Structure 1
Amino acid sequence: MTIRLTRRTVLAATAATLAAPRLALANPVEIDVHYSMPAVFKDVQEQLAAGFMAAQSDVKVSYRQATASYDDGTQLVLREAVTGRQPDLTFQGLNRLRVIAERGLAVDLAPLLKREGDSAKLGYTPELLGIGAAGGIQAGLAFATSNPIIFINADLFRRAGLDPDRKLTTWDEIIAASKTISALGDGVHGAYYRWQGDWIYSALLFGFGGRMMDEAERTIGFAGPEGKASLTVLDRLVKEGGMPALSGEAGAQAFAAGKVGMYFWSTAFLRQAMRSLGSNFNLATWEFPLGDRARGRLPTGGAAGMVLSKDPAKQQAAYRFLRYCTSPEGSAIMVKGTGYVPVNQLAADDPRYLGEFYRDNPLFMTGVRQMPIMVPWYAFPGANGVRISSTITDNVSRVVEQKASVDVALADMARDVTRLLPRA
């Protein structure tokens, strides 16, 4: 994904962000913008809007109330599209671009990008553009991308006689370390894997070289040995490693309180973790263990911006703001304020944007090192994507809560998901 660029090219690309094609407007055009997860993105979005409007006086960015999750955001857009009240610009989870694009709601951004010349010179590599492709069009531009990592309480490792500087790379090592830390007692747990959601489950599945569905999207792909191996890891973390069956937020709070040795979650949590931990303990980050080092991959979490407005003036204004959000400057703001990895190659390559930041903040480099093995966050075909995600979570929960064996939960999950897929 590396592109060799001169300083002149970088400066020209940044200027192009503000020189994107626009309509001649007498009064500011107000665009209605939606995003999810305000705990992660509120400060970043407000900073982006302020920076954009300071340079672009002919556009006013107005945010509607943010939704709590990506799935809530998708339901909002689909519901409001029925009456034509969808936002002009929405930031959607990468696995929900497909359902919005296939319903004809998204503007194809390819022609708009083409008018600006070579997209690679603007920092949009083919791989980055591919993240936002869905429904046969350029449905969006990647805004924030993440991958799963391990957050480490270095103090608990040392209390348990373990070395937090020696990274553990296999699940056997992870489970053994979890058992050792849990033995400290006093409400301490060695590990917490935040299992709620199909994305974090797919991290295990993809790490073993598995797939959600076969390439033709006719057969469930997680019902085989890779799927069984994935659920077995969670089963062993509970039985052998002492992992508690907490909700996602309760698990995060337990980690912040210094009661969890290893917390498995998204790089998106990094900035929030650094703010909430204070001086509770020393934090480290490790790469996510792959069950199969040769075939293992990791899912790309995060969001992409989608232009939904059909009004020419609002459509152009929304596109310009999206371009700013995904420019080198915008991408640097997003990375520094969250923990996500860059969505613009110029931001990653030019030290003026993120080079010095990564040098001074090594915890953020863990996610960057995993970028070469990132693959798309899988989107199931049909209109039942949200229900399928819930079905996967429900069955994974049965294993974590020890209410079903791995074999039973896997068989039920495959059967239930199959019922929700479109008929051939």
Structure 2
Amino acid sequence: MKTLFPLTGLALAAALPATAQTELTVYHAWPHHAEWQQEIADRFIAANPDVSIDFQAPAPDYDEGLVSVIRQNLAGDPPDVFMAGSHLLGDLVARDMVQPLDDMIGDTDLNAEGYTDAVLAFTQVNGTQYGLPWTSSTPVMFYNAELVEQAGGDPDDLPDTWEETIALAADIDALGDDIMGMYYTPGDDDWMTQNLLASAGLAPIAEDGTIAFDTDRGREAIALFERLHDEGGQTAISNNDARQQMYAGKLGLYFNSTAAVRSFEREIGDRFAWGTAQMPKLVDEGGVASGGMAAVILTDDPEKRAAAWDYLLFGTGPEAQALVVENTGYMPVNTGALEVLGDFYQDHPQFETSAQQTDRAYPWFGWPGQNGARISQIVLDRMAAIANDQQSAEEAAAGMTEEIAAQLPQ
């Protein structure tokens, strides 16, 4: 695969005129994203030499990024552009740290520029556009094609329901004591649990305020996680250990973000055939969770705000999004990137699966109020209790409902 890093910072610095520039400070999470983030900035600067971009040191994750930017705001010196976890956008809005993009969008038809309504919804709060999606991903099903075939399945026609998927995993698990049928990662927050709810056609909270875990379908979605262990062969190991088993050819089905595709391609190589498939559904109208970065403008300075808006449009445009996809495995947020990625997707079909789920993707849900991180941990702890056979799915759902209700705004 070609490497898309043709411009160097030194070459750009030499090319820039020694004139007054609009300086933008940008802050994002995930240090391993720094290289391609810098490449997008370099390309933008090459096309806009009157703008300079200075990156703050990346935050280790989305939650730490939010905490840091809140502190910077309290000190009166926030970054001009912030790449927030899209589920945390509501926190910024609640603190009046970010304003709607109405003044920037104006009469621009964002649909005509390649942004679908579904994608734009990823960075909206109550229907108002506060940012643009910088990256986006959905969970996918990674599969070992050879184990699927040995278990009697068809890698080219994998099941699309959880019932059939669990049955296939059980057959894979029966292939030998050193083989595990499936592993559904609980994740580092509640995103993968949101995905189970989405497969049941549910958001974590309904429009009438009902918590999903307090509904029959929500409890059924949580019970899926219990069934993966009881019927599908999943054991209570760490996500890292599960990935090592997948790399070694000892795990049949693995469920995680499409962002892992690049690592899988590198680690597995050509040792065995593998692929990705869309997430199974619990109900016919079942969806899939989405996640990623929401690029928002924090500055109120008109000149910086205009430059930041140009930067957001550039970074979410076709060419930049193609670069993001090729370097990460994320799905593009701009339909124009699909044409740019045509040959790449043909050579690397595992990367395309997430983009094929966009039409049924749920926005990454942000819990109301200022206790979102705490609620996310409540969910994660209860799911761990299920995995470790410390609670039944029914007990966990009831416990989550009670604890979450106490953390929501009254």
Fold conserved (TM > 0.5)? yes
Which portions of structure 1, spanning 4 or more consecutive aligned residues, are displaced by more than 6 angstroms? none
CA RMSD for the aligned pairs? Answer: 2.1
AA at the equivalent of 1:381: P
Map 1:7-406 to 2 at 5 A: 26-39=19-32, 41-114=33-106, 117-134=108-125, 137-185=128-176, 187-196=178-187, 197-216=189-208, 218-293=209-284, 295-348=285-338, 351=339, 353-406=340-393
In 2, distance between residues paired with 1:87 and 1:273?
Answer: 34
Q: How do residues 404-419 of structure 1 correspond to structure 2 at under 5 angstroms?
A: 404-419=391-406
Give the AA of the match of 1:336: E
The separation in 2 between residues aligned to 1:27 and 1:276, in whole angstroms, is 46
Q: Is the CA contact (8 Å cut-off) linking 2:118 and 2:359 kept in structure 1?
A: no
- CA–CA distance in 2 between the matches of 1:118 and 1:411? 45
Aligned-partner Cα distance in 1 for 2:67–2:270: 39
In structure 1, list runs of 5 or more residues that go unmatched: 1-24
CA contact (8 A) 1:107 1:309 kept: no
| Residue pair 2:118, 2:358 contacting (<8 A) in 1 also | no
Cα deviation 1:166-211 (Å, max 9, x = unaligned) = 3122222222222222233453211110112211111111111223
Instruction: Provide the rounded CA distance (Å) in 2 between the counterparts of 1:175 and 1:74.
Output: 37
Amino acid at match of 2:38: E
Instruction: Work out the percentage of aligned pairs sharing the same amino acid.
Output: 35
Q: Distance in 1 between matches of 2:203 and 2:351?
A: 28
The whole-number CA distance in structure 2 between the counterparts of 1:118 and 1:405 is 49
Displacement of 1:136 after TM fit?
6.3
Could you tell me which amino acid in structure 2 is paired with residue 318 of structure 1? A
Q: Name the SS for the 1:357 alignment partner.
A: helix
| Counterpart residue type for residue 150 of structure 1 | M
- Helix, strand or coil for the counterpart of 2:275? strand
Amino acid in structure 1 at the alignment position of 2:115: Y
Match of 1:4 in 2: none
**Inter-partner Cα distance in structure 2 for 1:416 and 1:388:** 8
Given the two structures, how large is their TM-score scaled by the length of structure 1?
0.86
Q: Gaps (5+ residues) in structure 2?
A: 1-17
Hey, what's the Cα distance between the residues in 1 that align with 2:248 and 2:31? 22
Contact kept in structure 2, 1:148 and 1:267, CA below 8 Å = yes
What is the identity, as a one-letter code, of the residue corresponding to 2:398? A
Quote the Cα distance in structure 1 between the aligned partners of 2:385 and 2:71.
Answer: 31
1:219/1:30 Cα in 2 relative to 1: closer, same or farther (>3 Å)? same
Displacement of 1:48 after TM fit? 0.6
Aligned length: 392
